[in-house]
Amino acid sequence: MTKYRIEKDSMGEIKVPQDAFYAAQTQRAKENFPISDLRFDRAFIQALGFVKQACALVNDDLGLLPDKVAKYIVKATQKMIDGELDDHFVVDVFQTGSGTSTNMNANEVIANRANFMAKQDGVDVKIHPNDHVNFGQSSNDVFPTVIRVSALLAVKQQLLPAMDHLRTAFHKKGQEYVDVVKTGRTHLMDAMPLTIAQQFGGYERQLQLGIERLNSALERLRELPQGGTAIGTGINTHEEFGKRFAEKVSELTGESFTEAIDHFEAQATIDAPVETSGQLKTIAVSMLKMANDLRWMNSGPNSGLGEVQLKALQPGSSIMPGKVNPVIEESVAMVCAQVIGNDATITIGGQSGNFELNVMLPVVGFNLNQSIVLLASVARNFANQSVSGLIVRKDAIAEKIGKNPILVTALNPIIGYDLAAKIAKTAFAEDRPLKEVALKMTDMSEEELDKALDPMKMTKGGFTE
């Protein structure tokens, strides 16, 4: 049987679990929003801890909080940063649009944990969730600040290293097969040849550009709304608070943050998180192409393209013995679909700012972090479980490229488009090697055709000699 205690707030009394560090406002939110099992992740709670800790330290420096109060708030927020209080963050993601319920969840947990530690130390102090932990703050500047801090830290610590790891995996695999020429495809149909290194180099460049796009978006995330309080005017906080807060949270996190140039923009909009989500969507689109290309290249192995052999990781069918499927690529595709869907939610959230406040902050913060963490995890897994271990089937590729009638394109400058088209159609209709047909339909020698129809030479561009 759960034991309860009675807590009070401005609306009266309410029962709260005896061992919970949260109090009345959190309990009301818990009961008011029995919507889902979705809660904020470790990265978001950690960022919220950094924000609350920085606020306490700055207010202490400004002489606005008693030293003893600030000291124990800092101790409690450190527990929060270290992940020791995660179980006490119980409010559903789908809640009040300002995130007030989660802000108060944090304020109550920090206050009660601080009071608990002070009592253990025999220190006579009573810390209040609003008057002390939330001093000089509002949910309206705290929550958008946490969204930015948590997203930036997750991108820098998780996603960017994972993307670079996948980029490196494609580079290494391309170099491993740098001399392998394969049939290119446009519209899923045979086209001019390219090397494995060229194809994988395209993926490498996609990832590099994704990294650059993200780094650019992070510059806007570094501007923090904290210090604007209720609507951006900074009511009930020190005039230097925003600047000092940005300096302090930079010190705590090791990342550079600045005070928002315009607090009304920073609180009334979430344009910076929307931009970041857009870049995450672009990366998801890029990775979806890579995964689908590898699925096609692995298809068969006998009745498909069969150009690569992906690692056999698990049985692929409950009824067809020996079947193996491209499961890693399928997991990548599903993550990419989720991220694209998350971006749609964040886009709708972004346009839901009315006058001085956006009112979809919690779902935006949740989806943004989920997209970052999912992309980081799947990029690393894609590299380790698929790209690094794939084998290029050189013999299967070589057998097909010689029969590719589109290679006749290289003869255009010599024999003209019309004759080249006739040769290609004849080779395809009669299922004969292109060179054999060209020998009969032109006056070119075998040596000249070998030189002109060299697939590797075609991958280097220019004109046929």
The one catalytic residue in 171, 277, 286, 317 is 317
CA 111, 114, 119, 120: dihedral to nearest 10 degrees? 150
Q: Which residue has the tokens 């999912």?
A: 374
Query: What are residue 432's phi and psi, to 5 degrees?
Result: -115, 155
Q: Is the dihedral of CA 266, 267, 269, 274 positive or negative?
A: positive
- The answer to whether 165 is a known catalytic residue is no
Q: Could you write out the DSSP letters of every residue in 262-326?
A: -HHHHHH--HHHHHHHHHHHHHHHHHHHHHHHHHHHH--SSSS---EE----S---SSSTT----
Q: Do 297 and 308 touch, CB atoms closer than 8 A?
A: yes
Q: For residues 288 and 331, give the distance between their C-alpha atoms in angstroms, rounded to a whole number.
A: 10
CA 151, 157, 56, 84: dihedral to nearest 10 degrees? 100
Q: Do 36 and 93 touch, CB atoms closer than 8 A?
A: yes
The one catalytic residue in 36, 187, 303, 318 is 187
Q: For residues 81 and 141, give the distance between their C-alpha atoms in angstroms, rounded to a whole number.
A: 19
- Closest-CA residue to 295 (of 303, 305, 283): 305
Q: Do 115 and 127 touch, CB atoms closer than 8 A?
A: yes
Partners of 4 in the β-ladder: 17
- The answer to whether 317 is a known catalytic residue is yes
Structure tokens at 292: 């689908």
Q: Is the dihedral of CA 48, 26, 144, 87 positive or negative?
A: positive
Which of left, alpha, beta for 122 (phi over 0: left; psi -120 to 50: alpha)? left
Q: Could you write out the DSSP letters of every residue in 363-420?
A: HHHHHHHHHHHHHHHHHHHHHHHTGGG-EE-HHHHHHHHTT-GGGGGGGHHHH-HHHH
- Closest-CA residue to 163 (of 372, 333, 389): 372
**Within 13 A of 152's CA, how many CA atoms are on the CB side?**
27
Q: For residues 66 and 80, give the distance between their C-alpha atoms in angstroms, rounded to a whole number.
A: 21
Catalytic residues: 187, 317
